[in-house]
Amino acid sequence: MQESKMTEPLITIATVNYNTADFVELIIYSLKKLTCNSYKLIVCDNGSNPADIEKIKRLSQENEKVELFFRQQNAAASMAHGQALDLLIEKSASKYTAVLDSDCVFLLKNWDIELTNHLDEKVKIFGATSPSLRAGPRLGGGDFPLPFAAVFETEIFKSLEISCTPGDITKGQDTSWQWRQKFSAAGLYGKVFTVYNTRDFRDGFFAEFIGVEEYYLDDGKLVASHFGRGASLGAAKYMKWFRVPLISTPIKKYFGKSDKKKWIKKCYQIIDSQ
């Protein structure tokens, strides 16, 4: 695939920041090292704390391919995230758009070529989903891309008038639940990565971590990893048996913070190895 000659880059990557500037810094590094075609990264800050805002501002100022904007919101987590995704996708004027959770990162050289080459007349979106063992009732989970890491044709996506905001969560209508519904109604298809969670899969690159997801292409190449815990560091995922009030939460957060640093370091190592 040749690099786009348009004013707009061939691909826009969209991510939401909420106290996750360390993760966004990793994304910026990954895109610099591993992206072949012209691109830009658009970041929507969703109301982070002052220290995180200062860091995300600095990252934006230091990287000409990063566009940053801010919004104030008081919606619940899934709703706030979905609203921000709608704003981000609307800003994309590229042929392709990639939506990426801030704690998810592409780890494959030329990931953009690898992913867009899977799109054709019928397959218009390709990306990550939940592993079948953990998909639960979420619409799209297991057999259709979810907004963790996915690329799609921007014009097609916008023509379907899709909103990423959740509907009835109890019915599986979480963030981006309309993706499967509206693509399918238009006779279009989605294709998903092979997904493993380290709670079930102990033979991958991130076997030492708890609850990390690994995304692979059909040929076995690791394309991305998802820490999956964002700003909260996934305190609830650690030592569920340990529920002593005022003690358990700080201890769980400690383990989450430690894992975050190790996961980021591991991602840098994988990126630099290519």
Q: Measure the CA–CA gap between 127 and 83, rounded to whole angstroms.
A: 20
Question: Which is it for the CA torsion 234, 239, 242, 247, positive or negative?
Answer: negative
Whether the CB-CB separation of 198 and 211 falls below 8 Å is answered with yes
Residue 257 covered by a domain: no
Residue 262: φ, ψ to 5°: -70, -40
74 lies in some domain: yes
pLDDT at 1 over 80: no
How far lies 59's CA from each of 27, 31, 66, 231, 259, in Å?
11, 13, 8, 18, 23
User: What digits encode the pLDDT tens for the residues 45-57?
Assistant: 999 999 999 999 9
Residue 240 covered by a domain: no
- Asked whether residue 23 is assigned to any structural domain, the reply reads yes
Is 251:239 a contact under the CB 8 Å cutoff? yes
Number of domains in the chain: 1
Secondary structure (H, E, C), the chain: CCCCCCCCCCEEEEEEECCCHHHHHHHHHHHHHHCCCCEEEEEEECCCCHHHHHHHHHHHHHCCCEEEEECCCCCCHHHHHHHHHHHHHHHCCCCEEEEECCCEEECCCCHHHHHHCCCCCCEEEEECCCCHHHCCCCCCCCCCCCCCEEEEEHHHHHHCCCCCCCCCHHHCCCCCCHHHHHHHHCCCEEEECEEEECCCCCCCCCCCCCCCEEEECCCCCEEEEECCCHHHCCHHHCCCCCCCCCCHHHHHHHHHHHHHHHHHHHHHHHHHCC
- Residue 54: name the closest of 21, 82, 90 by CA: 21
Do the domain assignments include residue 262?
no
Question: Does residue 184 lie within any of the structural domains?
Answer: yes
Instruction: Answer whether residue 265 is part of any domain.
Output: no
Query: How do residues 137-181 score in pLDDT, each as one tens digit?
Result: 777 778 899 999 999 999 999 999 999 999 998 898 999 999 999
What pLDDT sits at residue 8?
87
Q: Is residue 245 part of a domain?
A: no
pLDDT digits (tens, 9 = 90+) for 66-94: 999 999 888 888 999 999 999 999 999 99
| C-alpha–C-alpha distance, residues 8 and 24, integer Å | 22
Domain that holds residue 204: 11-232
Label residue 238 by pLDDT band (50, 70, 90). very low
Which CATH number covers residue 47?
3.90.550.10
70/56 Cα distance (integer angstroms): 11
pTM above threshold 0.85 = yes
pLDDT digits (tens, 9 = 90+) for 107-123: 999 999 999 999 999 99
pLDDT of residue 237: 44
